[in-house]
Amino acid sequence: MPDTTTGVVVIGGGSTGAGVLRDLSMRGIDAVLVEKGDLASGTTGRSHGLLHSGGRYCVNDLAAAIECVEEGRILRRIARTTIEDTGGYFVSVSEEDEAWVPRFVEGCGKAGISCERISVEEARRREPALSKQVRTVFWIPEDGHLDPFYLVMGNVESARRRGAQVRTYTEVTGFNRDGNRVTGVLTRDTMTGEETTIGCKAVINATGAWAGFVAKLLDVEVKVVPVKGVMVVLSHRVAHATINRCHKPGDGDIIVPALSVAILGTTAVRVPHPEVLPIEWEEVRHMIEEGSLMADGVSTARAMRAYAGVRPLYDLGAEAEGREMSRNFAVIDHEQRDGIAGFASIVGGKVTTYRLMAERVTDLVARRLGVTMPCATAGVPLNDRDDELDQLRHRPAQVGVPKPHGDELALQPLVCECELVRPQDVAPWFEDPAVRTLEDIRRRTRTGMGPCQAAVCSYRLAGRLVTDRHQDGPAATRAMADLLETRWRGVRHVFWGSQLRQAQVTAGLHLELFNLDRQLMLEKSTAPAGHFPPPQGEGQGGGVEKAEVASQR
């Protein structure tokens, strides 16, 4: 007997899974999303956040480019608060690049991407950061930055408002079957070890690079090629608009100004497993050197950290490798292909096209369940209203100083000064059962994502863990140490200049002043290591809704 039953179980809490959950809930289908980590903690949260106009794919991968054009326009309508409409430049910096220009122009024409060639002088006037090597410049108004965390949270909260459920840190360990039909999912809480069975009519495998592992539990094969990409985060935006190199897509040819930082990307290296993502010094250096070819200030800016993500490229059986492979996606109907009813996989694709991917797979599953309601996700904004308030970008103006010294807003205390996170931005998430580590708070609020990489805000969050989630001191200390540890993993790749000195300050603060390592040894928490338990009186309350209300005040 299952512990609970639902209509559809969605496996995977990235942009695709979140998009599927929302799509299902909008069609009136009961759904539960299970994710073995946190929402947006895999491929989505480790993307470089480029909202693709399609320009990057228009020569080699026209189908993907056309999808990007259409989806980009839809996202601008439905997910406005997660997008920075920066526009973008495609620049060539060598003779070799210039040979690509006619093909690029032709590709843009075919894909329907608006693209305007502007003089180098004009470009430099608009974007002083462009380097001296720049030879030709195209202005692509539809490139932009898409915040992957806010996108996923927005989809999930929209689905939760319609009754959908989310279980984070919940791993799928097996399936219940009735003959050839999948009737349930066996799950295990990765932190407590608690096992649960969720009965359902269908399962959607939206685990991207992990899709093969999930399919294997049903003895079917899904061939996904995990391709690693390394990115470097700089401590400020560097440029006003995204900058792409106008050449055959290669390493280190994208600069994305993302909220308060800039992200340099990326590489493409096939890896044996989606969780084996080593970052080599050569890769970090290469990102910075290639970025410097396009924009001044990249080499002198403070690199804050490096991270690696994994693309979930779907092997269509062609000989292609890495970047040559299509960024297209595929819906796999396992009933048709493998004779397993009630199971479908969605693989390939990219964050920009997540909604379309969700629509296609949900169409299939809804049809099988006899639900005729069409997809409505393209027409309704994520927060279901024309939201005037972009929380993140308006924060600087909202921190407030009382009159007559500033504006009329009361002085806002800050949890994280680097990213201007206020207590009311953080508080609702402590009530969300899906939030189980301080990293989860970071993903939802940007706390700890600034230059000091949680050196200062980590102890403020630990304090809030005690006051807002009633954890004991040792548990809070443990959680703080875990947050610092995960930040450290990214920071250690950029140990030179200011970030090296920062690390010294951080280590001095936590290891010497706070004596953190010894505290961890001495104080045994009652909570299991690595997380803190959900709040008492568990509900599926939506954090975002409350956060929005709070920030409007």
Partner 1 sequence: MITEEIGTFSDTVEEAAPVEACTKCTACNTVCPVARSTEIFRGPKFLGPESERYRSQPEAAVTAGLDLCSGCKLCEVTCPSQVTIQEYIRRAQNKGAEEKGRTLRDWVLGHTRLLSRFGSMTAPLANFGNRNPLVRLVMERVLGIHHKRPLPRYQWLTFERWFKRNSLSPRGGGSGRGGLATHRTVAYFYGCWVNYNDRRLGEQVVAILERNGIDVIVPKQQCCGIPAVVNANMDLARKYGVENVRRLNGLPPGVDIIASSTSCGLMLKHDYSHLLDIPGAEQVGARVYDICEYLWMLHEAGELNLDFQPVTTRLLYHAPCHLKSHGIGYPAMRLLRLIPGVQLEEVDEGCCGISGTFGVKVEKYDLSMTIGSRLFAAVKAAGSDAVLADCETCRMQVEHGAGAQSAHPIDILARAYGHG
Interface positions with partner 1 (CB under 8 A): 235-237, 240, 260, 281, 285, 288, 292, 297, 299-302, 393-397, 399-402, 404-407, 409, 411, 414, 417-418, 420, 450-452, 455-456, 496-498, 501-502, 504-505
**Minimal distance in Å, beta carbon 234 to partner 1?**
9
Radius of gyration of the chain (CA): 23
DSSP 416: B
Tokens of 170: 């919940």
Q: What is the DSSP letter of 434?
A: T
Q: How many CB atoms lie within 10 A of CB 289?
A: 13
Question: Whose Cβ is closer to partner 1: residue 260's or residue 471's?
Answer: 260
CA 461 – CA 448 distance, rounded (Å):
10
Amino acid at 485: E
Nearer to partner 1, 385 or 403 (CB): 403
* Smaller CB separation from partner 1, 397 or 522: 397
CB closer to partner 1 out of 13 and 451: 451
- H/E stretch holding 167 reads strand 165-167
How many residues would you count in the chain?
553
State the nearest-atom distance from the C-beta of 236 to partner 1, in Å: 5
Nearer to partner 1, 372 or 496 (CB): 496
Element counts in the chain: helices (H) and strands (E): 17, 22
Question: Given the complex with partner 1, which of 379 and 406 has the nearer CB atom?
Answer: 406
Cβ 306 to partner 1 shortest distance, Å:
14
Q: Which of 183, 166, 180, 212 is nearest to 332 (CA)?
A: 212
Query: With contact defined as beta carbons under 8 Å apart, do 239 and 296 qualify?
Result: no
Name the packing angle between helices 457-469 and 438-445 (round to 10°).
110
Residue 260 Cβ, how far from partner 1 at the closest point, in Å?
5
Strand partners, 196: 187
Rounded CA separation 400/406 (Å): 7
Q: What CA–CA distances, in Å, run from 479 to 20, 37, 470?
A: 31, 16, 13
Cβ at position 399, least distance to partner 1 in Å: 7
In angstroms, give the least distance from the CB of 276 to partner 1: 24
**Cβ distance to partner 1 smaller for residue 216 or 501:** 501
Distance CA 479, CA 477 (A): 5
Whichever of 165 and 235 has its CB closer to partner 1, that residue is 235
CA 278: distance to chain centroid?
Answer: 19
Minimum Å gap between C-beta 394 and partner 1 is 7
Closest to partner 1 by CB, 339 or 496: 496
Integer Cα distance of 279 and 284 in angstroms: 8
Of residues 213 and 488, the one with the C-beta less far from partner 1: 488
> Distance between alpha carbon 440 and the CA centroid of its chain, in Å?
12
Q: Which long-range contacts (CB under 8 A, 24 or more apart) does 519-527 make?
A: 519/474, 519/477, 520/477, 520/478, 520/481, 523/473, 523/474, 523/477, 524/474, 525/472, 525/474, 525/475, 525/477, 525/478, 526/472, 526/474, 526/475, 527/471, 527/472, 527/474, 527/475, 527/478
Of residues 173 and 504, the one with the C-beta less far from partner 1: 504
Beta bridge partners of 205: 11, 345
Q: Using the minimum distance from each CB to partner 1, give the nearer residue, 28 or 402.
A: 402
Q: Where are the alpha helices (DSSP H) in 168-305?
A: 211-216, 281-294
Q: Least distance to partner 1 from the beta carbon of 396, Å?
A: 4
Between 229 and 451, CB nearer to partner 1: 451
CB of 477 to partner 1, least distance (A): 21
Query: 532 near 481, Cβ under 8 Å?
Result: no
State the Cα–Cα distance between residues 210 and 493, nearest whole angstrom: 26
Least separation in angstroms between CB 454 and partner 1: 11
- Strand bridging mode 88-92 / 242-245: parallel
Q: Taking the CB of residue 352, how many other CB atoms lie within 10 A of it?
A: 26
For partner 1, give the closer residue by CB, 401 or 549: 401
